[in-house]
Amino acid sequence: MAKQKSITSITDARAAKHLEQSQERATLWCDKLTGLYLIKLKRGGAWRYRYTDALGKVRTYTIGKYPAMPPVEASARAYKLISEGADPLHEQRQNQHQRRTEALQAEQRTLASYLAGGYAVRMAAWGDSAAKMTAGRLKKHFSDLLPRDLASITKHDIIKWVQDNASLARTTHRRVYGALQALLNAAVEDDVLEANPIKGYKLPLLNADDLERESEDPGKAKRRAMTDDEQGAILNGLDQFAEEIRAERRNSRKRGKPDLFDLDQVEYPHWFIPFCLLALHTGLAPSDLYSLKWDQLNVQFGVLRKYRHKTIHLLRNDREPAQLSISLNQDIRAVMKAWQREHMDVIGISANPKDLVFPPKRVASQRDRKAHLRHWERVKALGGVTDDLDFYGLRHNFISRLVMAGVPLLLVAQLVGHKSAQMIERHYAHLCPTKAEQAMNIVADQIAAAQKVRQGSGVVGTSA
């Protein structure tokens, strides 16, 4: 192999001799490449290049260390800088500034910082409840990703998350992953990210074990119709709960607070009573009860129309949320008429069209989404209802009763705010097994009728 021709007058021997015999800071200049020299340092030496920049200032740039970088390599680098007319120090400062900028951007681009900053501003428009739920969901499930740059999130992070949370229902996987995708898409819109790093990536397919576990449906036992005794116990509990509230108010009025309103004059002395009755009669979920406003509940005509609270976020993406449209029966219509009249006396807030039907007393936003649970437990205790019946069981009961009565599944879905009957069919079809048998009997009865006609005509069979 031909030996590389040197373009510097500084050989390895001269460089070694310079470091051995010269004093510290002494220089050895190259006679062939203007500006290149070797300087002796306290430990070893350094190759340096002296040049004049565009502003006429003399600059010195360190090319590398000697003896780690031999003269041939140092001269090649110096030749490249000279031939290109480069300003290496300026480029170095630019690169350093770019790296600092990128580091700062990456720090501001972490999941935690965007969730607490730009995305929090977006979520504020959703309402306190939805914003807290989404932020809490992301923090809980993606705690490992919080300090990470959003741009560094990969499909492998998602695969690991799914594997670490294999016990979760598939619907939970989809809901949580959808929340993360929404955040990343928003980061792109806000120019925090150039692109969603996992755009288009779908959750890994379920294996055989996951499919079996998914089909087991652990919540099936709760999706049932309540017995007449259970419903009677709830109504009895509500009556006793109302009497407790009235008794407490009577006691307060006797003990120095006579100006308090006399709750013996109203039919529903506490907001939870009409809240519970409306859930029992309509199957409304707690989130829809809390967000319900008087202009969505027309008690005069007995009609309730509103977007489902859990789907209202779809409006942000120009998509149509699921809508509730319910004709109230006479009983619950009378309850809500009474509550509208008594609203001011019981809560102290007038029932204006844009106001919540079940507002809190002291704050402008809606009640905490768990505010009903304490009262529900008290009603169950007073009425003798079993502990395992949760408040959401009222919704399950509403759906179950309709399915058992043979109401078409699509109509049931529409009444409870679902766009299709898929969820109803999947989770409640077990409540009407006789319907399938009856449907099959329709065909069997028709075939039997045809058989009688055939026999009556004397036709037994046909020849081949």
Mean pLDDT of the chain: 86
**pLDDT digit string (tens) for 339-372?**
998 877 777 766 788 889 998 876 556 677 889 9
Query: How does pLDDT run across 164-190, given as a tens digit for each residue?
Result: 998 888 888 988 999 999 999 999 998
Mark whether 390 and 244 lie in a shared domain. Answer: yes
Copy the structure tokens of residue 104: 């700062």
Domain boundary among 189, 216, 243: 216
The answer as to whether 458 is a domain residue is no
Helix (H), strand (E), coil (C) string for the chain: CCCCCCCCCCCHHHHHHHHHHCCCCCEEECCCCCCEEEEECCCCEEEEEEEECCCCCEEEEEEEEECCCCHHHHHHHHHHHHHHCCCHHHHHHHHHHHHHHHHHHHHHCEHHHHHHCHHHHHHHCCCHHHHHHHHHHHHHHCHHHCCCEHHHCCHHHHHHHHHHCCCCCHHHHHHHHHHHHHHHHHHHHCCCCCCCCCCCCCCCCCCHHHHHHHHHCCCHHHCCCCCHHHHHHHHHHHHHHHHHHHHHHHHHHHCCCCCCCCHHHCCCCCCHHHHHHHHHHHCCCHHHHHHCEHHHEECCCCEEEEECHHHHHHHHHCCCCCEEEEECCHHHHHHHHHHHHHHHHHHCCCCCCCCECCCCCCCCCCCCCCHHHHHHHHHHHHHCCCCCCCCCHHHHHHHHHHHHCCCCHHHHHHHCCCCCCHHHHHHHHHHCHHHHHHHHHHHHHHHHHHHHHHHHCCCCCCCC
Residue 319 lies in a domain: yes
196 occurs within a structural domain: yes
Q: Does the residue 63 lie in any domain?
A: yes
| Confidence band for 156, pLDDT divided at 50, 70 and 90 | very high
Give the model's pLDDT for residue 144. Answer: 93
More confident site: 437 or 138? 138
pLDDT value of residue 429? 77
Same domain, 278 and 418: yes
> Residue 459 above 60 pLDDT?
no
Residue scoring higher pLDDT (449 or 198): 198
Distance between CA atoms of residues 33 and 79, nearest Å: 7
Give the domain extent around 361: 228-431
Q: In the chain, pLDDT over 70 holds for what percent of residues?
A: 88
Same domain, 346 and 316: yes
Q: Are 242 and 268 in contact (CB under 8 A)?
A: yes
- Does a structural domain hold residue 289? yes
pLDDT of residue 462: 42
Number of compact structural domains in the chain:
3
Q: How confident is the model at residue 35 (pLDDT cuts 50, 70, 90)?
A: very high
What's residue 461's pLDDT? 47
- Tens digit of each residue's pLDDT (9 = 90 or more) over 193-214: 889 999 989 887 766 666 555 5
Residues 92 and 153 in one domain: no
CB 338 within 8 A of CB 278: no
Q: What is the pLDDT of residue 464?
A: 39
Domain shared by 43 and 64, yes or no: yes
pTM here is: 0.59
pLDDT tens digits, 73-121 = 999 999 999 998 888 888 888 887 777 766 666 666 889 989 998 899 9
Task: Answer yes or no: is pLDDT of 451 > 80.
Answer: no
Instruction: Please give the pLDDT value at position 283.
Output: 94
Identify whether residues 240 and 367 lie together within a single domain: yes
Q: Is the pLDDT of residue 463 over 50?
A: no
Which domain-ending residue is among 166, 187, 216?
216
Q: Which of 68-72, 129-133, 428-432 has the lowest average pLDDT?
A: 428-432
Whole-number percent of the chain with pLDDT over 90: 53
Q: What is the pLDDT of residues 314-341, one digit of tens each?
A: 776 677 888 899 999 999 999 999 999 8
Q: Point out the least confidently predicted range of 20-24, 223-227, 318-322, 418-422.
A: 318-322
CATH at 87: 3.30.160.390
Residue 377 pLDDT > 90: yes
pLDDT confidence of residue 363: 58
Domain boundary among 101, 130, 154: 101
